[in-house]
Every structure is written in C-alpha cells, then in structure tokens.
C-alpha cells in the first residue's frame, strides 16, 4: 500500500503504515457480526446481533448440510448545498457458514429478525429408538 510518508523517520512511517493497514477503510475487509450458538434438548439456536438492518437484507441458505447466513447492504447519502455537494457511500456485508450436525430437521429451520437480533432456530430430528438391546449367550 502506498501511503503518503508522514515523516522522514522510517520507524514513524512503519508504525502508521501498520496502523492504517489494519483499518477497514484502507484494507478490503468484511465485517462480521457477533454470534451466539446454543443447544438444548430439542434444537440448536444461532443468534446474530445485527442492528440497523431489515429482514429483507438477509439471505439464509442450506446446501449440503452447510447453513450460510449473508447480507449485503448498500447505503448512499447525498447532501447538496449552494456551494458544495457531499456524498457518502458505504457497503456493509458479511457471510457466515455453519456445518450442521446430522441430527437436524432441515425442513423445519426457521428465522426471525426483531430489534436488531437475527435468531435462527434449528430443530433436531426426533430420536429414533433403534437401539438394539440383546443379551449374548456365551457358548
């Protein structure tokens, strides 16, 4: 990355280059929301803290037992005055994928977005009682 050299001291320049390289403004990074994963006897739950979005902003897919939650939201603001025009553009996007266990009931997965919280409920399949109990006689 080419940054304007702030000072002739190489240590000073290296420090600021390292600082700017880690900032999303200068580096093409994806933002990732906080996530909680929980389990109880009947289901798994995934919760994302994502304020400021609409439910239409999210895309949730299940393919080959991999659940992917993603969003891409574009915001444009323009303010025009007699002497200037101020434009701002931002893009907030993320994508998270989770490999689901084999005991989930994929047909019953549901999601809800309320008050900045995206909650995905992943029910478990009813346990099949295929346990064979047999006493083996010793010959």
Report which of 30, 39, 22, 44 is spatially closest to residue 105, judged by C-alpha positions. 44
Residues facing residue 38 across a β-bridge: 45
Q: pLDDT tens-digit profile of 121-134?
A: 999 998 765 566 77
**Do residues 92 and 58 touch, judged by C-beta distance below 8 A?**
no
Give me the pLDDT at residue 75, please: 72
Residue 13 structure tokens: 């320049």
Q: What structural domains does the chain harbor?
A: 1-29 (no CATH), 31-123 (2.60.40.790)
Exposure string for 4-22, b = 16+ CB within 10 A, e = fewer: eeeeeeeeeeeeeeeeeee
Structure token digits, residue 123: 């029910």
- Residue 53 pLDDT: 86
Containing 129, the helix (H) or strand (E) segment is none
pTM for this entry = 0.62
DSSP state at residue 83:
S
Q: Using one digit for the tens of pLDDT, what is the confidence trace for 93-114? A: 889 999 999 999 999 999 999 9
Tokens linked to 37: 């994963």
* Cβ-based neighbours of 111, under 8 Å, separated by 6 or more: 58, 60, 118, 119, 120, 121
């Amino acid at each position: 990355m080419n940054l304007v050299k702030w000072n002739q001291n190489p240590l000073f320049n290296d420090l600021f280059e390292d600082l700017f390289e880690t900032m999303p403004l200068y580096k093409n990074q994806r933002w990732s929301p906080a996530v909680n994963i929980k389990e109880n006897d009947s289901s798994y739950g995934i919760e994302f803290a994502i304020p400021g979005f609409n439910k239409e902003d999210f895309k949730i897919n299940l393919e080959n037992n991999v659940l992917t939650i993603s969003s891409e939201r574009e915001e444009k603001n323009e303010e025009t005055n007699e002497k200037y025009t101020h434009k701002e553009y931002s893009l907030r996007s993320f994508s998270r994928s989770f490999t689901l266990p084999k005991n989930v009931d994929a047909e019953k997965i549901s999601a809800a977005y309320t008050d900045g919280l995206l909650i995905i409920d992943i029910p478990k399949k009813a346990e099949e009682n295929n346990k064979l109990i047999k006493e083996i006689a010793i010959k």
